[in-house]
Copies of this chain bind each other. A is one copy, B any other.
Amino acid sequence: MAAHTVLFHPGEKAISVPTGSSVLQAAARAGLSLHSPCGGQGRCGKCLVQVKSGCDEAKPVERQLLTEEELAQGWRLACQTRVVGTAEVTVPASSLVAEHHIMVEGVGREILVQPNVRKVALRLPPPSRDDPRADLSRVMDALGPGVQTPTSLDVLQRIPGLLRGADYRVTALIVGDALVALEPGDTAEHAYGLAVDIGTTTLVAYLCHLPTGRVAAVASELNPQVQYGEDVISRLQMAVSQREGASHLGRLVAGAVNELIGRAAAQAGVSREAIYELVIVGNTCMSHFFLGVSPTGLAGVPFLPAFRSPQTVRAADLGIEAHREARVLMMPNIGGFVGADTVGVILASELDRAKGLQVAVDIGTNGEIVVARDGELYACSTAAGPAFEGAGISCGMRAAAGAIDRVAIDDDVSYHVLGDVPPRGLCGSGLVDAVAEMVKVGAIAESGRLLKPEEVESLPEKVRRRLAWNRDGIEFILVWPNQSGTGRALSLTARDIRETQLAKGAIYAGMALMLGELGARPGEIERLLLAGAFGNYIRRESAMAIGLLPALDVERIECIGNAAGVGARLALCSVSERRRAAEIARRVSRVQLSEREGFYDRFANAMMLRPLPAEE
């Protein structure tokens, strides 16, 4: 069959279609969604376009709906107009299905909303002797040539009753380019998706309204896998040593995701069945566990994942309770221990397109570090431990109500507590503040040693009294029992300080080593992005004072919030961002720190609690 080129204005999109195709079909192929509530019957007049050339003559229905003058100007109904030659067509904005843009907070990006899941309301012509099309053809014809027939038995089994019961007014659920479900009536606005960041310690879920991209609710939850160890390594060992270990870890998270779905859906006032897609980020181990894939290859050199590419599976197969046809997109991994969460951070922060030397640090139980220089991307993962997430510290807690997030020490200790409640523990930013202030006043040596009361005679008396002996040695009492929400003192022990040093040392050493490989120095970093919930609360001065971050102008350090989660949201709301994520995963070079010469020396050095010189 002959094919013709159709050029669409504005946007100058040119595509090729077989002769006789409708302009509506051609527009769909060009990625332009035109209004057509009547299902291409020429009744509603919503798909108006202006034809310059290459189309057939106006039909009687068009002559009814359009004036002589309009016809003379080339106005036509796209559904009635057939392409018969090289054509040129202008699509007015009014005919286009509204394009939503969303502004993504934190990362300051605006994107065009183009979700992978679309719902299209249809008003189909009922069958007649002159129109004996099969039920399915009736639907597919209305959806146009860009949509594939369903492979789900469910759609087939329901279609006869559905069309007749809903008076031929139905809503098609299109995922990618396939018809996946049909619903009675017009439910086009009832379409939600869930972006989930599976952290080693914390899960965060964003419920998004897909047609507009706005966040309808947010919920978070501890990762229930912590019962098998606070770090990835212990869970990895459990997963490879126990039969069905990975599946068990996966089911635990699926259960937590179901909890999050329940809470987020209730908060937004929607049903969990209105959730049609989930996009998941997490580190490589979390990705494997979530899909129930044994991380055998990750347990030893050369640290091979089972998969790196994006994976799409049915939510129901993972035990996720959402729409029965909901899919889960597991975002692509970079490799070894650098996972989809890092892809999310790069996507959210656009480091793949950044100019000059830029660094992103996602501080979680694993500290992922990305170094970008003019489009070149390197990433590594450091085993920071959960200290900055408030775990593994005797009085640690998440940044929730009751958490101390700011500490200052002068004559005495002062602090700020999240929420209007007495303090119950210390979150990551409070920990960094506390350690930095203790070093500042001299309660901790740069080596990390807590000083004995008798060694710090010069300390203000109220501060000195907080250095107290317990069974295991010295501890520093931040909150006295009578002021604590728990009724017990909140202290930092020698072990807590050590955990903090290990965590910050791992992160700093990783960053320094990656920069070294590029021949760059920390002082050359033009923009240092702090991702993770922690990044939002941290006092940058304290982080620099203890050498968690290199000593830079404070202005160069930006907090970008849960960028991994934002990356998942972007992929949920935009297919082009999704493609970009897959491209990012392919482009990033993974740096295996433990294999690099000098890493352990750097690590030992980076454990010192002092500002680390930016020129080193």
Contacts and interface: CB of A to CB of B under 8 A. Distances in A.
Given A160-B293, A160-B296, A291-B156, A132 B306 contact: no
A134 B294 contact: no
A318 interface: yes
Contact of A134 (B152, B161, B304): B304
A304 B127 contact: yes
B132 A307 contact: no
Interface string A542-553: 000000000000
A247 B153 CA distance: 12
Interface stretch (A42-50, A100-108, A309-317): A309-317
Nearest to A330: B156
A309 B159 CA distance: 14
B136 A304 contact: no
B291 A134 contact: no
B129 A301 contact: yes
Given A135-B307, A156-B306, A160-B306, 8 more contacts: A135-B304, A136-B306, A149-B309, A149-B311, A153-B317, A156-B293, A157-B246, A160-B295
A52 interface: no
A62 to B, nearest CB: 27
Contacts of A311: 149, 156
B293 A157 contact: yes
Contact of A129 (B127, B297, B302): B302
A308 to B, nearest CB: 4
Contacts of A313: 151-153, 156
Contacts of A161: 294, 296
Contacts of A302: 127-129, 132
23 contacts: A127-B302, A132-B303, A133-B304, A134-B308, A134-B309, A135-B297, A136-B307, A137-B307, A137-B309, A149-B309, A149-B311, A152-B313, A153-B313, A153-B314, A156-B291, A156-B307, A156-B313, A157-B291, A157-B292, A157-B294, A159-B306, A160-B293, A164-B296
B291 A247 contact: no
A335 interface: yes
Interface residues of A, number: 46
A367 interface: no
Contacts of A307: 134-137, 156, 159
A306 B151 contact: no
A305 interface: yes
Contacts of A308: 134, 136-137
Interface string A1-15: 000000000000000
A164 B305 CA distance: 13
Given A132-B304, A302-B129, A160 B297 contact: yes
A127 B292 CA distance: 22
